[in-house]
Amino acid sequence: MPKDSKKKKYSQKYKKEWEAEKAFKEWLTSVPGQNSLAFCKCCKSELKAHKKDLESHANTQKHLKKMAELGSVAQTPQITQFVRQTIDDRRKIAELKVAAFIAEHCSVATVDHLGELIKSLDGKSETLKELKLHRTKCMSLIVNVISPCLLQDLMDDVGDSYYSLIIDDTTTIDTKKVMGIMIRYCSKKKRKVVTTFYRLVELEAGDAQTIYDAFKQVLEEDGLKLHKLIGIGVDGASVMVGSRNSFATRLTKDIPNAVIMPLRQVLMPLLTSCSRARIQSLTLQPRIYDSRDTRLVFQQHEASSCL
């Protein structure tokens, strides 16, 4: 056998320093566990770890085309360049005030015109110039920002004191059952008895058990203790004040001394026709009760809770 056949064939190994060279640094990397191979990140292909072969690959039509495509992607502006800066705090406050005004005094549909009108009042004001408020945003601010804050303020004001509720249920135009609730309590902050809107709760059905379960769930979620409830005012429907299977019978099982007062006037027309400012100023007048005796009992309970 000839001597030359006994010589070992030379095998070039991959060198890490190749990755720092200008011709290779953007696309060359190693193959884990294979010292004799290199990998092109651009073409997604394995190559022999021979420098001459790598140089030849760098000049192929396929590689040059891939590199050009990669370069165009790299020059594309990043998504962070399109993100607008955070809204200024003064603009946030202005938009929240307008949304609160709309919620209290008029329809949400008017904000489309009102927002443009406010912007034109002072051309020099940067805050008014940047103000952008239309129906969708206004409704989102009312539902997701203003309403939770007002509810939390109300619950903090009620605290651990005694309270009473006025309840009425109705069906909306899209055939959904809802229950409107107003609350009356002695406010330590305002140092007077306050009557104000509390909740509008969607109901799954209109039977007594469903209404009572939703009623208890709302009180529990908001941290109002059921045993602190003095009494409720409801309409004369049998589902609310029936003697056998009603909302009132279920409530008296949990609170035997609760005062149940049927009202001649229902709550829902007030909630749908009155603004929040008027709802907050409502007082329970003697004419809406069935008798003067129930009104006096109700007032005596509230007077004792304010002491």
Query: What pTM was computed for the model?
Result: 0.54
Strands of the sheet with 28-31, listed across from one edge: 28-31, 34-40, 45-48
Domain ranges of the chain: 12-78, 89-147, 159-305
Distance CA(49)–CA(268), nearest Å, equals: 82
pLDDT in tens, 149-187: 888 888 888 888 899 998 888 888 888 888 888 899 988
Burial category of 163 from C-beta neighbours within 10 Å (exposed 0-12, middle 13-18, buried 19 and up): buried
- The domain 159-305 is placed in CATH, from the list 3.30.420, 2.40.10, 3.40.50, 1.20.120, at 3.30.420
Q: Tens digit of pLDDT for each residue in 98-150?
A: 888 888 888 888 888 887 888 788 777 778 777 888 888 888 888 888 888 88
Residue 298 has what pLDDT? 44
C-alpha of 304 from chain center: 39
Task: Give the three-state DSSP class for 209.
Answer: helix
Contact predicate 54/47, CB 8 Å: yes
